[in-house]
Amino acid sequence: MKRPLAAMLIACGAPAFAQSTVSIYGIVDAAVAYIDKTGSTGFTIKKLTSNGSTPSRIGFRGTEDLGGGYRANFVLETGFAPDTGTLSQGGRSFGRQSTVGLETPYGEVVLGRQYTFRYALYGSDYMGDNLFGVGSVDPYIPNDRADNSIGYRFTYGRFNYRAVYSFGRDVAATGGPAATNCPGEQASDHKACTQLSMLGTYDGDGWGVAAAYDKLRGAPGIRFEDLNSSRYYDLRTTLNGYVTVFKGRIGVGWIGRKHESATPYRQSIGWVSLTQEIAPLVHLDATLYRINRRHSRDDAWFPVARLRYLLSTRTNLYATAGYMHNQGASALSVDGQSPSLAGKKQFGVALGIRHNF
């Protein structure tokens, strides 16, 4: 009888561990693209691209129920290029997200590398991170993440509030728009490399609106778009909304950008977008962007579209196209990466496959 009694005493004295779950998820997306007029000779680029409709990724998400409305959460998410197998976001191991947080009845606090709100989609631009999309006209928008940050999330009924503050928004020195080499405050300058981002949304019955504010600062010795002082900053304000129509949605949005530096400028991006089921298993997404540089004729019109055929709930085939109509000295390219000529038009098309898991 001694052994069963001892086992019972040990069991009674042991702590009750909360149940935890971990899931693996991801997207693999690849396409073949054709882009014309990429140089003075009218050369055409044909290539395999790792981002036809959505950037590829693999992620790990975990949660532990602590009881009483409290949860511990984490997300580790890696971006990668399936055409070469390399890591995205400047070669970071978990460049898309790497967070740990505590969820409470009063909101959730999140620490780590996380999304900011430089670009609040929320149902208003249905091209999203498509190869031909808003990233072609402002490459920093799809890279809306901040290192060394603390975030707060709160939901009350149909209203959602999010805020992120970064003490050093980007530690990477190479790797494209995802790397701005601004690792944190300096001994004589506590504003250096900081970033504040906030978002508020409301979703009604068949409609929704969102407003976002994102301000990042430069730092001495940092050569990122001439933000070489913490008194210089890049500010984006976003307003958008959507309404449900038939079997789809129509969205409208606007981003106002204020770049304050030794060479300041103002720019805005406006759009009208729709997503619609046009036949069983066939969906159409389309957006018309207007890019306007204040006190300048260097503007552009940019219509894009994507047709998706659903092979299953996880896999779809798609065709996407974009047409960049530059005006003045504007030299935007249709994919944001290929060479282009000032004041010229450029066309691109891509065929691809996307699988979610």
In a domain, 1, yes or no: no
Within a domain: 232: yes
List all residues 6 or more positions away from 94 whose beta carbon is below 8 Å from its beta carbon. Answer: 76, 77, 78, 113
* Distance from C-alpha of 116 to C-alpha of 143, rounded to nearest angstrom: 9
> Is 5 a residue whose pLDDT tops 50?
no
Give the pLDDT of residue 42.
67
Residue 333 lies in a domain: yes
In a domain, 258, yes or no: yes
We report the CATH number of the domain holding residue 305 as 2.40.160.10
Residue 123 identity = G
Query: pTM for the whole thing?
Result: 0.90
pLDDT of 155: 96
Instruction: Give yes or no for residue 206 having a pLDDT over 60.
Output: yes
Q: What is the pLDDT at residue 121?
A: 63
Task: State yes or no: pLDDT of 7 exceeds 50.
Answer: no
Domain membership of residue 87 (yes or no) is yes
Q: Taking the chain, what is the end-to-end CA distance rounded to the nearest angstrom? A: 52
Task: Please give the mean pLDDT across all residues of the chain.
Answer: 90
Q: Judge whether 173 lies within some domain.
A: yes
Count of domains for the chain:
1
Return the pLDDT at 258. Answer: 97
> Does some domain include residue 136?
yes
- Mean pLDDT for 204-211 is 95
Instruction: Give the model confidence (pLDDT) of 82-139 as tens digits.
Output: 989 999 888 889 999 999 999 999 999 999 999 999 777 667 999 989 999 999 999 8
Average pLDDT estimate for 141-157: 93
Within a domain: residue 40?
Answer: yes
Residues spanned by the domain of 184 = 20-356
| pLDDT score recorded for residue 61 | 98
Structure tokens at 210: 């969102």
Q: What is the pLDDT of residues 239-282, one digit of tens each?
A: 999 999 988 999 999 999 999 999 999 999 999 999 999 999 99
Taking 50 as the threshold, does the pLDDT of residue 76 lie above it? Answer: yes
